[in-house]
Amino acid sequence: MITVVPQPSLDGKRLAFVLTEDRLGHYPEFRAFFARIFDLDRVGLTRPGYLQVPSGTVYALIFIGRSGEPFPSGVEVHGVVSALEPIDEAGVDRDLWSILRWMIEGVGGEWTADAMEATGRLFRVPASMDADRPRF
Amino acid sequence: MTSIDLPDIVRRQWPFRPRFACVNCWRMHYVDEGSGNPVVLLHGNPTWGFLYRDFVAPLTAAGYRVIIPDMIGFGLSEKPSREQAHSLDGHIANLTALLRGLDLHRATLVCHDWGGPTGLGFALSNIARVKALVLMSTWAWPLPPAEFHTRIFPWRMMHAPLLGPYLLGRHNALAGRGIYLSVVDRKRFQERAQAAYEAVLPDPASRLLTWTWPRWIPLDASARAFDRFAWLERELRACSLPALLIWGREDDVFDPSVFIPRFRQLLPHAEGPHLVTGRHFLQEDSGPEIAAHIIDFLRRLA
Q: Which of B82, B157, B171 minimises the CB distance to A116?
A: B157
Confidence of residue A96 (pLDDT cuts 50, 70, 90): very high
Whether residue B1 lies inside any domain: the answer is no
Q: Which residues of A56-80 are buried (b: 16+ CB within 10 A; e: fewer)?
A: ebbbbbbbbeeeeeebbbbbbbbbb
Q: What is the pLDDT of residues A71-84, one digit of tens each?
A: 999 999 999 999 99
Tell me, what CATH number does B114's domain have? 3.40.50.1820
- Residue A119 to residue B165, Cβ atoms within 8 A: no
Output the pLDDT for position B146. 85
Residues of B in contact with A23 (CB under 8 A): 83, 161, 215
Residues of B in contact with A102 (CB under 8 A): none
Whether residue B282 lies inside any domain: the answer is yes
Whether residue B3 lies inside any domain: the answer is no
CA A67 to CA A81: how far, in whole Å? 31
Output the pLDDT for position B100. 98
Q: Which of B83, B157, B176 minimises the CB distance to A22?
A: B83
Active site residue B113: yes
CA A38 to CA A49: how far, in whole Å? 6
Whether residue B51 lies inside any domain: the answer is yes
CA B115 to CA B91: how far, in whole Å? 10
Q: Which of A96, A119, A124 minimises the CB distance to B153?
A: A119
CA B153 to CA B144: how far, in whole Å? 15
Output the pLDDT for position A103. 98
Q: Which domain holds residue B252?
A: 8-301
Q: Is the pLDDT of residue A130 over 80?
A: no
Distances (CA, A) of A16 to A2, A103, A136, B81: 19, 20, 34, 19
Residue A116 at interface with chain B, using a CB cutoff of 8 Å: yes
Residues of A in contact with B166 (CB under 8 A): 19, 96-97, 100, 125
Q: Domain total for chain B?
A: 1
Active site residue B280: yes
Q: Is the pLDDT of residue A136 over 50?
A: no
Distances (CA, A) of A130 to A104, A127, B197: 20, 8, 27
Confidence of residue A131 (pLDDT cuts 50, 70, 90): very low
Q: Is the pLDDT of residue A64 over 60?
A: yes
Whether residue B17 lies inside any domain: the answer is yes
Residue B57 at interface with chain A, using a CB cutoff of 8 Å: no
Q: Which of B82, B154, B160 minimises the CB distance to A30?
A: B160
Sheet holding A58-64, edge to edge: A3-5, A49-52, A58-64, A74-82, A13-21
Angle of the A89-107 helix axis to the A113-122 helix axis, nearest 10: 140
Q: Which amino acid is at B230?
A: A
Angle of the A28-37 helix axis to the A89-107 helix axis, nearest 10: 100
| pLDDT tens per residue across all 302 residues of chain B | 456 889 999 999 999 999 999 999 999 999 999 999 999 999 999 999 999 999 999 999 999 999 999 999 999 999 999 999 999 999 999 999 999 999 999 999 999 999 999 999 999 999 999 999 999 999 999 987 788 999 999 999 999 999 999 999 999 999 989 999 999 999 999 999 999 999 999 999 999 999 999 999 999 999 999 999 999 999 999 999 999 999 999 999 999 999 999 999 999 999 999 999 999 999 999 999 999 999 999 999 98
For B156-191, give the DSSP string.
Answer: IHHHSTTHHIIIIIIS-TIIIIIHHHTSS-HHHHHH
- What is the ipTM, given to two decimal places? 0.95
Residue B198 at interface with chain A, using a CB cutoff of 8 Å: no
Whether residue B256 lies inside any domain: the answer is yes
Torsion, CA B251, CA B154, CA A132, CA A19, rounded to 10: 130
For A55-109, give the DSSP string.
Answer: TS-EEEEEEE--TTSPSPSEEEEEEEEETTSPP-HHHHHHHHHHHHHHHHHHH-T
Candidates B113, B274, B285, B293; catalytic one: B113
| For range A13-21, the mean pLDDT | 98
Residue among A34, A123, A16, A115 at smallest CA distance from A72: A34
- Residue A123 to residue B162, Cβ atoms within 8 A: no
Residue A103 at interface with chain B, using a CB cutoff of 8 Å: yes
Q: What is the pLDDT of residues A37-59, one digit of tens each?
A: 999 999 999 999 999 999 999 99
Whether residue B251 lies inside any domain: the answer is yes
- Residue A123 to residue B158, Cβ atoms within 8 A: yes
Task: Give the chain A residue nearest B153 (alpha carbons).
Answer: A115
- Residue B161 to residue A77, Cβ atoms within 8 A: no
- Residue A123 to residue B152, Cβ atoms within 8 A: no
Active site residue B32: no
Q: Is the pLDDT of residue A133 over 70?
A: no
β-pair type (B64-69, B26-33): antiparallel
